Every structure is written in C-alpha cells, then in structure tokens.
Amino acid sequence: MEALSSLIAGFGVLADPMNIVYMFVGIMLGVLIGVLPGLGGANGVAILLPLTFAMSPVSAIIMLSSIYWGALFGGAITSILFNIPGEPWSVATTFDGHPMAQKGKAGEALTAAFTGSFIGAFFAVVLITFMAPIIAKFALKFGPAEFFAVYLLTFCSFVGMGKEPPAKVLAVMALGFALAAVGIDTVTGQLRMTFGSVELLRGFDFLVAVIGLFGVGEILLTMEEGLAFKGKSAAINMRVVLHTWKQLPKFWLGCLRSAVVGCWMGITPGGATPASFMSYGLAKRFSKRGNEFGKGELEGVVMPEVGAHAAGTAALLPMLTLGIPGSPTAAVLLGGLLIWGLQPGPLLFVEQKDFVWGLIASIYLGNIAGLLVVLTTVPLFAAILRVPFSVIAPIILVVCAVGAYTVHNATMDIAVMLVFGVIGYVFKKLDYPLAPLVLALVLGDMAESSFRQAMLVSQGNLGIFWSNPLVGSIVTLALVMLFWPLISAGIQRLRGGGAKHAAAE
C-alpha cells in the first residue's frame, strides 16, 4: 500500500503541464532517434542532455527518459519496413517483422511490435513499483562470475534452443567472438589483432556491423531479386490495430515469459539486446509454429519487443537503487543525476522521494503516450514503402553511411559497414544465421572480461561458477539449454522405449 500511495504522489508531480509537454517532446525526439540507424538511445540522450541543464531535475529526467521510451518504440519502424535495425535491440524484430512487411502486413507487424513494447514496459514498471527493495538486494549479489553466467546463459540458449543447425550457429558465433576480440584488451591493455592499423584500435563497433549486416546486406539481396520491395502496401488504421489486438491474447504465456526474461536481463544487467534475442529464441522453441519463424510470424514480432522493452525499463531499477546502470542509456541518465546533484542509491528513495516516484509515474504515462504517438504517426513511415526501390535504395545507403559515420565520426567505419554488408549478403545466401554473429559481437568482450575477472578472483579455479546457489543455478540452466537437443532426444527415446515395453506386455 505504501508503494501505491507513493505512486499516487508521483502522479501529482506530473500535474505540472510543462512536464507533460516535455514528455511528448521527448517521445517524438526518441522515435526519430530510434528510426535513424546508428544514433541510438544512449547517444540521443547524451546529445540532448545539455538542453536539460536549465530545467528542474524532475522535468529533465522525465524528458530524457521519454526520449529513451521513444527510441525503444521507434527502433521497430525501420526494422520492419526496411530490415534495418534502428536500434541494436531491434535486430530480432527484423527476423519476422520484415517478412510480414514484404507480405503486405506491415501495419499488423508494426501494431504488434508497438503493443509488445507497451506490454514489456508496463510489466517492468509494475515490477519496479512493488519489488524495488527485494530486487535491489538481489542485484547487489552480482559479481564477475554471475555476470559471465548470464552471458553464458544467453549464448547457450541460442545454440541449444534455436532451430538452426548447432554447427552453423557455433561457426558464426565463433566469428563474432573473434571480431569482438579485435582492439585493446580491456584486462591487460595489450593490442589484439590490429595488424598495425590505428583504426582497429577501438575494434569493430557493434552498431556499424549491424547497419552493414542488415541494412547493406538487405539492399544487395533486393537488388539481386529485381530492384523492388516485396511489400508495397503498408496501411495502419483502427481496423488493422483492432484485428491485430484480437490475435495477441493467445500469446499471453509467451508475453509473460518474455517479460520475465526482459526484467531479468535488465536488472542483472544483461541489456535489452540479449533480452530480445533470448525472448525470440525461447518463443521459437516453445511455439507450436516455431518452424514458421523467420517467414513472417506475428508471435516472432511481439516477443522480442516485449523482452527488449521490459529490459530497457527494468534497467532503471539498479540505476536508481544502487547506482549501477543496467544499460548504456541508464548510464547516461546516471551521469545526468550526478550533474543535478542527486546521488543514486537506497537513500534516494528517502531524500528525493518526489523525484523518484515522479520518474516512475512518468514511465506509466510515457508508455501510454508513446504507444499512441507511434500508432498515429507511423503511416508517415509506412508510406515510404510505396516509393520505388530505385529511388529509396540510394537514400537508405546514405542514411546507413551517415549512421555508421556518426558512431565515431570516422570514415573508416563506412568501409567497415560495406564489408559487413557483403558478409551479411553471403551469409544469407548460404543460409547461415546472422543473429548469433551479432550476439557474439556485442557481448563477446563483456563476457570475456567477466570470465577473466572471475578467474583472477578464484586464481584459475572454475569452481567459482558453482561457488554459490545463484551463480550455480544460472550456469546449470545454461548447460541444460546448451545440451537440450540431446536431453530432449534422450527423453523421447526413453518414452518410446517405455511405450514399446508396455505394448509388449
């Protein structure tokens, strides 16, 4: 009840009309940031952070967090319409979202993605509201071993729970790990696989690789197939929205599972990107139509968006309660809090109660406002599908190049983007999955750092990964997922043998 009364007081903080204005401005800017490849929510928040210095801390954090919600929503637009992820966590949305757009179901795909985003964020903010003390205490127990266990769980779920051949998944994942290792070793400071190139000192940026793999790679495939979009019509109206919403209740169990995964990855923190991949992989595994995933399944659009939004929202919990940002954007918001003289931690809920609960209340309203904004403005983006490909393809290439360049303001990144575009084209032609490559590229260096730190702490003893119930349970679950095909085959064999034995009797 105390949480409810505090939340009501938080809505009172939002009674200032200017805070509502800041919320809608932030959402519109966030959607624009999410649509533009390479910019990203963290970069957008960082760029606009100086604009908020003249505001009160409450108004400033409401606007910046609204930019974040808008970016989460907006990333799905270009992913579905053009197969170009506007945000890293939108990669998994492309797997079924773009095939739906090519079938002329862009409106349904966009509605499903936006609704899934709303569901994930709502689940996470309810969790934040009522379970903050418990989750904060739980997250405090995480060390290097626990972080590595979470990454291991993500990797193993892709190998064991996916439908692709494990050999292909392991091959592309190994390539991703190798690319992630390029640059400066974060533990020893030594150079690795730079071959004397100054440009390779910072390694291969994840966003540049994603823009190339999915954006340029898709353009090359489309050029080969006749310089035309497969989906010309993309209308979204109340009829399409209601028709899509009627289909969503049958996915309630999958949405709950994805929301739990997302909150877990946001709090621990694993991040919105692995949360979206894990949600997609689990949905593909447990769905009755799992074999149809990748061909334009509505469930394959909803689940990664639920997971990504739940993780993106839940990442604020450890940032507010412990001062540990659960995502890059949360880290930028943490910097903003420190600039405004606010020290995140348990005392923030006591000393700055109005600020904290005003922020939580803004998440509720911002989530609703974001859903309304994207549903009403997306026809502007859907209409782009009617433009001839010969006109839009050069524009997409320019946008991709600008997005790649703005990541580090380096011309070299444009060349890297084109190389990854060719790799994406070749992998798609050879039927190799791109998702494990992207996953290993973005999480490889973090997983390596966590593993090496754990080994330093334990002096090389692998027993640290079973040193307490928390890390032991995560690692055990990861191994079960890795060997799940063998385990499930063994169970079926035992059942088959038992049935034959019963029939013989």
Which residues, at least 6 apart from 71, have a Cβ–Cβ distance to it below 8 Å? 30, 31, 33, 34, 40, 41, 44, 86, 87, 329
User: Positive or negative, the Cα torsion across 439, 184, 266, 73?
Assistant: negative
In the Cβ-directed half-sphere of 199, how many Cα atoms lie within 13 Å? 10
Direct distance between the N- and C-terminal alpha carbons of the chain, in angstroms, rounded to an integer: 61
Cis ω for the linkage preceding 344 (within 30 of 0):
no
DSSP secondary structure code for residue 268 in this structure? T
Within-domain flag for 28? yes
- Domain assignment of residue 192, yes or no: yes
Q: How far apart are CA 274 and CA 154, in angstroms?
A: 7
Whether residue 328 is contained in a domain is answered as yes
496 in a domain, yes or no?
Answer: no
Question: Which residues is 191 bridged to in the sheet?
Answer: 184
Q: Within a domain: residue 173? A: yes
Total count of residues recorded for the chain: 505
State pLDDT tens for residues 34-89.
666 555 566 566 666 666 767 777 788 788 778 877 877 777 777 777 777 766 67
Q: What is the 3-state secondary structure (H, E, C) of 181-214?
A: CCEECCCCCCEECCCCCCHHHHCCCHHHHHHHHH
The residues near 76 (Cβ < 8 Å, ≥ 6 apart) are 34, 86, 90, 93, 97, 110, 113, 114, 117, 305
Residue 123 structural domain: 2-490
Domain assignment present for residue 158? The answer is yes
Domain count of the fold of the chain: 1
Alpha-helical (H) ranges within 409-468 are 412-429, 435-458
From first to last of the 505 residues of the chain, give the pLDDT tens digit: 566 777 777 777 777 788 888 888 888 888 777 666 555 566 566 666 666 767 777 788 788 778 877 877 777 777 777 777 766 677 788 888 888 887 878 778 888 888 888 888 888 888 888 776 565 556 556 778 887 887 787 788 777 766 677 888 888 888 888 888 888 877 777 788 777 777 677 777 766 777 787 777 777 777 776 655 444 445 566 777 787 888 888 888 888 888 888 888 777 656 677 788 888 888 887 777 767 777 778 888 888 888 888 887 887 777 777 666 656 667 667 767 776 777 666 666 667 777 777 778 888 888 888 888 887 776 665 555 566 767 767 877 887 787 678 767 778 888 888 888 888 888 888 888 777 787 787 777 778 888 888 888 888 888 888 888 888 888 888 888 888 778 877 887 887 766 555 555 5
How far is CA 61 from each of CA 351, 357, 427, rounded to the nearest angstrom?
A: 17, 12, 42
191-245 pLDDT per residue, tens:
887 777 776 777 777 667 777 877 777 777 777 766 554 444 455 667 777 878 8
Cα 117 to Cα 1, 52, 65, 87, 300: the distances in Å are 27, 26, 15, 14, 13
382 occurs within a structural domain: yes
Q: What is the DSSP letter of 90?
A: G
Task: Assess if residue 501 is contained within a domain.
Answer: no
